[in-house]
């Protein structure tokens, strides 16, 4: 799963891209209907991507993002310094229990 959040003059949103082991592609685009920072948009993308993966019945997941903050926080390399980011991390931790294996990777 690849995810990316975005913020522009029109608001915030997220993109999620899945590649199955057989090479099938699934794409999702989300519009965020509340004021969000770029980091919040990145977390929303990750969170919704994990929810979609659970609904699809995915049990092992590789997650890729260019968000240094999100990847380092969910990998526990960095601590969450704001309550909002900590709340996102907590929601992600709850979803991780639905997978047999999950790995987060930073991509440039």
CA distances from 23 to 15, 20, 28, 47 (A): 19, 5, 16, 23
Give me 43's structure tokens: 């977390």
List the pLDDT tens digit at each of the 108 positions of the chain: 999 999 888 889 999 999 999 999 999 999 999 888 999 999 999 999 999 999 999 999 999 999 999 999 999 999 988 999 999 999 999 999 999 999 999 998
Helices vs. strands in the chain: H and E counts, helices first:
3, 5
């Amino acid at each position: 799963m690849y995810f990316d959040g975005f913020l522009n003059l029109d608001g915030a949103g997220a993109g999620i891209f899945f590649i199955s082991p057989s090479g099938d592609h699934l794409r999702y685009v989300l519009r965020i209907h509340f004021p969000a920072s770029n980091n919040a948009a990145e977390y929303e993308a990750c969170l919704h991507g994990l929810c979609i993966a659970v609904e699809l019945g995915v049990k092992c997941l590789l997650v890729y993002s260019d968000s240094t903050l999100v990847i380092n926080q969910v990998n526990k390399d960095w601590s969450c310094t704001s309550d909002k980011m900590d709340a996102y991390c907590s929601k992600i931790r709850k979803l991780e229990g639905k997978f047999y294996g999950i790995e987060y990777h930073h991509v440039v």
